[in-house]
Amino acid sequence: MTTQHAFSGARGPDGESHLFYQTRKRRPPIDRAEGIYIWDRAGKRYLDGSSGAMVANIGHSNPRVLEAMRRQMEKATFAYRLHFENEPAERLAAATAELMPEGLDKVFFVSGGSEAVESALKLARQYAVATGQAQRWKVVSRYPSYHGGTLGALAVTGMALMSAPFAPMLRDMPKIPAPTCYLDRDSLTPEERGLRYADMLADEIERQGPETVLAFIMEPVGGASTGALVAPDSYYARIREICDRYGILLIHDEVMSGAGRTGRFLASEHWGVKPDIVTLSKGFAAGYVPLGAMVADRRLVEPVLDAGGFVHGHTYAGNPLACAAGLAVLGEVLDNDLMGNAERIGGLLEAELKGLMARYPFIGDVRGKGLMLAFELVADRDTMEPLPVGHDAHNRLVEIAYGKGLIIYSRRTRGGRKGDHFMVCPPMIATAAQV
Ligand code: PLP
């Protein structure tokens, strides 16, 4: 005989929830979501203007994805990779590889962005060990940047606020400034600025000792840490050239910028630069399931497998349900030309945001690519002076928008100084009218 336990959802003796996240701040419970909208339990509708945390790329409750998940659930929801292969994982790996530049065709599945970054760092290191370059271990990254919350990913993250409490537990990794050219008031052309920032990588490699440097990790279009930062065109190719010059691996963290959001499957396609390793998550399964991937050049993977195997793995790697959902998401993106839509609608939204700059002098910058856009508030647009310390525009604007049923995503960080920028990244199904 079976009994049913009815969980009450009761709160603790002090009336507080048993759940906890970063702070005590709580939000209303979600009831349902569809397309670009979310409803809370009180019936209030919100426009998901940031796709959550730049995740829900194809919108909510997509029928094709739900059906694919239902069909897979009826077959098998879990199969441990050491016991069984599974078809959705095999098919998603093949479909992903097809969207990658030539040679970048070995796919390792994980459950999220931080795991994808950890996997990339570990594969890079194991490749060095397997090919007689064991002295290489330093991973150069940028400041500011965000590559994840787990300790390895945090070591290459350039956000003091996130890493400070863990400093004694983190290996100190070298950082170079992110190319925040929009703040520079020099006489250089954008192309010259791009080269100047890229050359900081060569300087840092020389300072560290080139034989000790393993890899450089960067977000081709910056995420929440820099507010959709795009470098001048010259930056991307020069970075590749410097990595090649020193035999250093180039890791593109496309956890946020990948999977089509910028109008191309990989943001790096805008500049025709091929990395050695790419990380994907967020829009890859668009919020339907936790899923991420680390995609590597076969040139790196083969020596590692030949030398005894990749010493790394997570229990949920290649989960059949997650991969079935990911495959359906990819199908929706490709069949409905959502990348083309991201480019078109992103262009419209960017023009609208730039139009607001004419009305509001405190909008200092609008930037991004496709539907990965951000605007930044400043005290003075000419000098790009940030809002004064203690000013709470950052939280206030988010709260005002939330009150009006519009979700935007914000962060306060800008190089060594504070900046108030806001990500505007609706799902890639957004229409001109919704913009
Ligand atoms: N890398 C980038 C570029 C990100 O934007 C994020 C998350 O925001 C991560 C990694 C970490 O991903 P996750 O939060 O899924 O672990």
What percentage of the chain exceeds 70 in pLDDT? 97
Atom of ligand 1 nearest to the CA of 114: 16
Distance (angstroms) between ligand 1 centre and the Cα of 253 equals 9
Q: Ligand 1 center to residue 372 CA distance, Å? A: 15
pLDDT > 90 in the chain, percent: 84
The pick from 109, 118, 255 for probing ligand 1's pocket by mutation, whose C-beta has the most ligand atoms within 8 angstroms, reads 255
- Please give the pLDDT value at position 3: 61
Average predicted confidence (pLDDT) for the chain: 94
Name the residue of 115, 221, 261, 282 to mutate for ligand 1: max ligand atoms within 8 A of Cβ. 282
Minimum-distance ligand 1 atom for the alpha carbon of 145: 3
Residue written as token pair 């930062």: 229
Nearest to 125 by CA among 104, 152, 97: 152
Give the span between the Cα atoms of 101 and 117, in whole angstroms: 19
The alpha carbon of 255 and the centre of ligand 1 are apart by a number of angstroms equal to: 6
Query: What is the model's pTM?
Result: 0.97
Which atom in ligand 1 lies closest to the alpha carbon of residue 115?
A: 16
* Cα(243) to centroid(ligand 1), Å: 23
For residue range 104-130, what is the model confidence (pLDDT) as tens digits?
999 999 999 999 999 999 999 999 999
Q: Which pLDDT belongs to residue 416?
A: 46
Output the 3-class SS for the chain.
Answer: CCCCCCCCCCCCCCCCCCCCCCCCCCCCCEEEEEECEEEECCCCEEECCCHHHHCCCCCECCHHHHHHHHHHHHHCCCCCCCCCCCHHHHHHHHHHHHCCCCCCCEEEEECCHHHHHHHHHHHHHHHHHHCCCCCCCEEEEEECCCCCCCHHHHHCCCCHHHHHHHHHHCCCCCEEECCCHHHCCCCCCHHHHHHHHHHHHHHHHHHHCHHHEEEEEECCECCCCCCCCECCHHHHHHHHHHHHHHCCEEEEECCCCCCCCCCCCCHHHHHCCCCCEEEECHHHCCCCCCCEEEEECHHHHHHHHHCCCCCCCCCCCCCHHHHHHHHHHHHHHHHCCHHHHHHHHHHHHHHHHHHHHHHCCCEEEEEEECCEEEEEECCECCCCECCCCCCCHHHHHHHHHHHCCECCEEEEEECEEEEEEEEECCCCCCCCCCC
Atom number, ligand 1, closest to the C-alpha of residue 53: 8
**Tens digits of residue pLDDT in 153-211:** 999 999 988 899 999 999 999 999 999 999 998 999 999 999 999 999 999 999 999 99
Q: How far is the CA of 195 from the centre of ligand 1 (A)?
A: 27
Which amino acid residue places its CA nearest to atom 12 of ligand 1? 113
Using the structure block, give the residue that is written with the tokens 């590559």: 147
The pLDDT score that the predictor gives to residue 427 is: 98
Taking CB atoms within 8 Å and a gap of at least 24, the contacts of 86-89 are 86/318, 86/320, 86/323, 87/320, 88/320, 88/321, 88/323, 88/324, 88/326, 88/327, 89/318, 89/319, 89/320, 89/323
Ligand 1 atom with least separation from CA of 257: 3
Q: How far apart are CA 117 and CA 369, in angstroms?
A: 22
Confidence of residue 394 (pLDDT cuts 50, 70, 90): confident
Residue nearest to atom 13 of ligand 1 (CA): 113
Q: Give, for ligand 1, the residue of 50, 225, 256 to mutate: max count of ligand atoms closer than 8 Å to Cβ.
A: 256
ipTM of the complex: 0.99
CA–CA separation, 185 vs 319, rounded Å? 50
**Stated length of the chain:** 435
* Each residue's pLDDT tens digit, 310-354: 999 999 999 999 999 999 999 999 999 999 999 999 999 999 999
- 66-335: CATH, from 3.10.180.10, 1.10.150.120, 3.40.190.10, 3.40.640.10: 3.40.640.10
Q: Does domain 30-61+337-424 have CATH number 3.90.1150.10?
A: yes
Residues within a 6 A CB radius of ligand 1: 53, 112-114, 117, 146-148, 219, 223, 253, 255-256, 281
Domain with CATH 3.40.640.10 in the chain: 66-335
What local confidence, expressed as pLDDT, does residue 400 receive? Answer: 95
Is 184 exposed, middle or buried (CB count within 10 Å of its CB: 0-12, 13-18, 19+)? middle
Which pLDDT score is estimated for 9? 74
| CATH 3.90.1150.10 segments of the chain | 30-61+337-424
